[in-house]
A and B are shown apart, each in its own frame.
Chain A
Amino acid sequence: MSQKSRSTLRPLIALSTVSLLALTSCGNGGGDGEGGTITIGVTGPQSGGGALYGENVEAGIRLAIDELNEQGVTIDGEEYTVEMRALDDEYQPNAAATNAQRLVEQDDASVVFIPHAGGIHAAQEINTSRSDFLIGAYSSDRRIIERDNELTFMISPPFVSYSEPFIRIFQEEQGAERLGLLATASEYGQQWTTMITQDWEDAGGEVLSNNNFDYGAVSDFASSVARTLSDDPDVILVGGPSQTTALVIEEARDQGYEGGFMIMDQAKFEELELFTDPENLNNSAGVKPVAEFDDPGTDSLVERFAEDITEERPITAETSLNFQAVALVVKAMEIAGTHEDPAAIREAMPEAAAEVDDVFRVSGFPDEVTDEGLLISDSLEGAYRDSEGNYEYFPMDIE
């Protein structure tokens, strides 16, 4: 009997211990009463398929914070330490919004960085009404600033900026006519495809069959590649995570394709080069590698990424753009004289853009912050890798 009741109690004890633990650790998130800390909130994928992406974004924010703390942050005469608090949302919109609210209320963050469009949209439902915080939106989906949400700033250049130069390079300069579609079938991939289809046809080209497939959910893509090639394209739109993109490009080259590639901005040349023979990438256009910028802070960030984060992969725009954005927003806090009022911080951002220290200017630092919340850099460039394997850079207009 006694044995029986013990076995009855064990799970109960286990359960209550766990829930107790849950409650206590809920508590420690609360901001420590002492002034002098600014919390930058981040909610992104730390587990699941998007984990690497989340890590890269966090790395940029962490490196910026380390640098800021070394230099010292002074707001309204008082010195502050900046810290990052990052939560996992597994790429889910509602989890991102919940996390954002938690970061704001329990950790006193007034800025939350969210690196995916779904999470940004969900957070925009609450950031000006039920809660009050500024969203650092890292996504190239332009809809996030078209909702008139006055507490959002868009860190990544909208992907529409790539359309015009891509079409110029392939259609006007090379005379390409037939465009194959072989990009990822995510939300982002579909939007890219719609945009480029429209623009390509407007410019007089022909768009072939759509063979987009989900880069994260297909076990063998050789047949999609074969179908695209059977249409005999002059140039192919590819893009998704760099690593899969590299394999798609390689497969196409292996199957004898010799034309060009337009590489969507999610994939980065510096990563593609690691995953496939760089020669396969000849005659393609895409995002300019971070390390190729000549901005004042480029070299030091590249070095620090290798030292503090990892040497196993190169730094990409996911890291550098968020690095810049943190510096910008903290400078805006200094100018606004507050780290708690999101509206005042947002308002100070255009002015802050000019005053950020050189060390934070890495890969096309924003020169201007529009009323919509778009960060505009005059020095942003795209990259074209020619048929010899040399990179040429072309200017891009952010719009």
Chain B
Amino acid sequence: MTLFVQQFFNGLSLGGVYCLAAIGLTLVFGVLRIPNLAHGALYMVGAYLTYFFLTSAGVPYILAIALAALVLAGIGIGMERVVFHPLRNAPHTHHMIAAAGAMFFLHSLIQAIWGADFRRMESPITGRVEILGTQVSWQRVTIVITAVVVLIALTWFIKRTVHGQSIEAVEQDRVGASLVGINPNRVSMLTFGLAAALVAVAAGLVAPINLLYPTMGDVIMVKVFAIIILGGLGSIPGAIVGGFTLGMAEVMATTYVSAVAGEVIAFVVLILVLAIRPTGLLTKAVQR
């Protein structure tokens, strides 16, 4: 039982990280209809930025994550301007190649700056707390709480603010949105900025229980794609449900079946979803 409770919290925290990373990807897909392959690279840059603010600039942890999110949002917007905006009328093939180019570039750039070394980011949040009879580390509790807070803030932003609503409008109906005078350029930039900020938060949260290295984004990239396929490309609730589902499924499969099961479960889920309902579980039937 204690094993289960402990793993439940591990699943929650992993799910929270997946969620934050997946929402950005699904947002970009919803608004621009492109699978941004450089998303994993942005995650990696976000982790390094948090590391920089925390260790080199000496900023407190939560503030360091916020700063990293801000800077990465800038980078995300820059990427939209330089790479994706010129390709807005090109076939989606070109976006994917350009995104791969951006990914290679970011890998190399970070390796040039920080080297290929693994880095460990010590979180100031240490110690453990007793929940339901098991020890859960504060870092994991922080991850879960932060993820929930960010998700609530995001929902508020999208449902209650003008900018957020414009994103949702474009997602649901491109033509209609432009007819009512929503500037697609601004929405694109906003979406990229938001996606980058969210993935930076995910990276900043997970960095202390993991290691930093230039290709760290590749691992999460596959998972995040699995999540948004599971939840439906472009669907935010889908990304949230998918994120927690996969996080929990991975942890439980590893604990109660085997380590290999934990690693392949994302793919098993993928096959099933693709075979049964290729547009994802939570999307409306017709989506073009």
Q: Let me know if B271 is at the binding interface, CB within 8 A.
A: no
Chain B, interface residues (CB within 8 Å), range: 35 or more
The majority secondary structure among interface residues of chain B is helix
Chain B positions 98-147 with a Cβ under 8 Å from a chain A Cβ: 107-108, 111, 115-118, 120, 128, 137
**Number of A residues contacting the other chain (C-beta, 8 Å)?**
34
**Segment at the interface with A among B23-31, B182-190, B203-211:** B203-211
A220 is contacted by which of B10, B107, B258, B260 (Cβ under 8 Å)? B10
Chain B residues contacting A47 (CB-CB under 8 Å) are 107-108, 111, 116
Is the Cβ of A244 less than 8 Å from the Cβ of B254? Answer: no
Is the Cβ of A226 less than 8 Å from the Cβ of B7? Answer: yes
Given contacts A226-B3, A227-B255, contact A219 B211 (CB under 8 A): no
Chain B residues contacting A222 (CB-CB under 8 Å) are 10, 209, 251
Chain B positions 1-48 with a Cβ under 8 Å from a chain A Cβ: 3, 6-7, 10-11, 13-14, 17-18
Chain B residues contacting A213 (CB-CB under 8 Å) are 254, 259-260, 262-263
Q: How far is the CB of B30 from chain A (nearest CB, A)?
A: 24
Q: How far is the CB of B97 from chain A (nearest CB, A)?
A: 15
B206 is contacted by which of A219, A223, A224 (Cβ under 8 Å)? A219
Q: Let me know if A254 is at the binding interface, CB within 8 A.
A: yes
Is the Cβ of B258 less than 8 Å from the Cβ of A209? Answer: yes
Q: How far is the CB of B136 from chain A (nearest CB, A)?
A: 10
Query: Residue on A with the closest CB to B212?
Result: A243
Q: Let me know if B84 is at the binding interface, CB within 8 A.
A: no
Interface centre among B118, B128, B252 (most CB of A within 10 A): B118
Chain B positions 61-98 with a Cβ under 8 Å from a chain A Cβ: none
**Segment at the interface with B among A49-57, A98-106, A171-179:** A49-57
Q: How far is the CB of B99 from chain A (nearest CB, A)?
A: 18
Q: Let me know if A168 is at the binding interface, CB within 8 A.
A: no
Q: Let me know if B193 is at the binding interface, CB within 8 A.
A: no
Is the Cβ of A52 less than 8 Å from the Cβ of B219? Answer: no
Chain A residues contacting B55 (CB-CB under 8 Å) are none
Q: Let me know if B215 is at the binding interface, CB within 8 A.
A: yes
Q: How far is the CB of B22 from chain A (nearest CB, A)?
A: 12
Cα A230 to Cα B111 in complex, Å, equals 39
Chain B positions 244-288 with a Cβ under 8 Å from a chain A Cβ: 250-252, 254-256, 258-260, 262-263
Q: Let me know if B220 is at the binding interface, CB within 8 A.
A: yes
Q: Let me know if B213 is at the binding interface, CB within 8 A.
A: yes
Is the Cβ of B111 less than 8 Å from the Cβ of A224? Answer: no
Is the Cβ of A48 less than 8 Å from the Cβ of B219? Answer: no
Query: Residue on A with the closest CB to B252?
Result: A223
Q: Let me know if B214 is at the binding interface, CB within 8 A.
A: yes
Q: Let me know if A233 is at the binding interface, CB within 8 A.
A: no
Cα A244 to Cα B18 in complex, Å, equals 20
How many residue-residue contacts, CB under 8 A, span A and B?
A: 104
Is the Cβ of A218 less than 8 Å from the Cβ of B219? Answer: yes
Chain A residues contacting B209 (CB-CB under 8 Å) are 220, 222, 247
Chain A positions 183-228 with a Cβ under 8 Å from a chain B Cβ: 185, 209-214, 216-220, 222-224, 226-227
Q: How far is the CB of B164 from chain A (nearest CB, A)?
A: 29
Is the Cβ of B263 less than 8 Å from the Cβ of A223? Answer: no
Is the Cβ of B254 less than 8 Å from the Cβ of A224? Answer: yes
Given contacts A213-B263, A219-B14, A222-B10, contact A51 B210 (CB under 8 A): no
Chain B residues contacting A241 (CB-CB under 8 Å) are 118
Is the Cβ of B258 less than 8 Å from the Cβ of A211? Answer: yes
Chain B residues contacting A312 (CB-CB under 8 Å) are 115, 117
Cα A210 to Cα B262 in complex, Å, equals 13
A52 is contacted by which of B13, B18, B116, B251 (Cβ under 8 Å)? B116
Chain A residues contacting B252 (CB-CB under 8 Å) are 223
Chain B residues contacting A216 (CB-CB under 8 Å) are 219
Chain B residues contacting A217 (CB-CB under 8 Å) are 218-219, 263
Cα A230 to Cα B4 in complex, Å, equals 11
Interface centre among A219, A230, A241 (most CB of B within 10 A): A219
A residues whose Cβ falls under 8 Å from a Cβ of B? 47-49, 51-52, 54-55, 185, 209-214, 216-220, 222-224, 226-227, 230, 241-244, 247, 254, 275, 312-313
- Can you list 6 A-B pairs, Cβ within 8 angstroms, ordered by A? A210-B259, A213-B259, A217-B263, A223-B262, A224-B259, A254-B128
B residues whose Cβ falls under 8 Å from a Cβ of A? 3, 6-7, 10-11, 13-14, 17-18, 107-108, 111, 115-118, 120, 128, 137, 206, 209-211, 213-215, 218-220, 223, 250-252, 254-256, 258-260, 262-263
Which A-B residue pairs are the 3 nearest by beta carbons? Answer: A51-B116, A243-B118, A223-B254
